[in-house]
Amino acid sequence: MKKNEKRHLELSTKFIEMGQALVKEGSEKNDYTIMQSGNMMIFIGGLLFDEKDTYQFAELCSMFSAKKILDSFDLSKDDLFSGNKANQITYDEFIKRLNKLKGDENSD
């Protein structure tokens, strides 16, 4: 048995179940974003069977996220993304600010 194989199978099952629920919800609501989120969860569930695949996918996601964040720095006039301040923001601060933008009361 591989290292943590049982836990990987548990996680895989959970991701696939969540993904199926999101695909169903997205289909019922005719919401492409929710549906594709579900497909991504199913995909991630399948990745958990191979550590090398998981690592490579994580690397691709990191590169994509970095590009999206850098692109948003250039496009936004909002204080959140302006100048050097954006380069010093932590993930926790970034999440708090995103929650504030969506009107989450617990963002402070």
Encoding tokens for residue 2? 């591989």
Helix, strand and coil content of the chain, in percent to the nearest 5, comes to 80, 0, 20
Which residues does 39 contact at the CB level (< 8 Å), separation at least 6?
A: 19, 23
Q: What percent of the chain has pLDDT over 70?
A: 79
Residue range 25-66, pLDDT digits in tens:
999 999 999 999 999 999 999 998 888 888 998 998 888 888
Q: Would you say 107 and 100 are in contact if contact means Cβ atoms under 8 Å apart?
A: yes
Going by C-alpha positions, the residue among 92, 2, 94 that lies closest to residue 48 is 2
Q: Would you say 42 and 22 are in contact if contact means Cβ atoms under 8 Å apart?
A: no
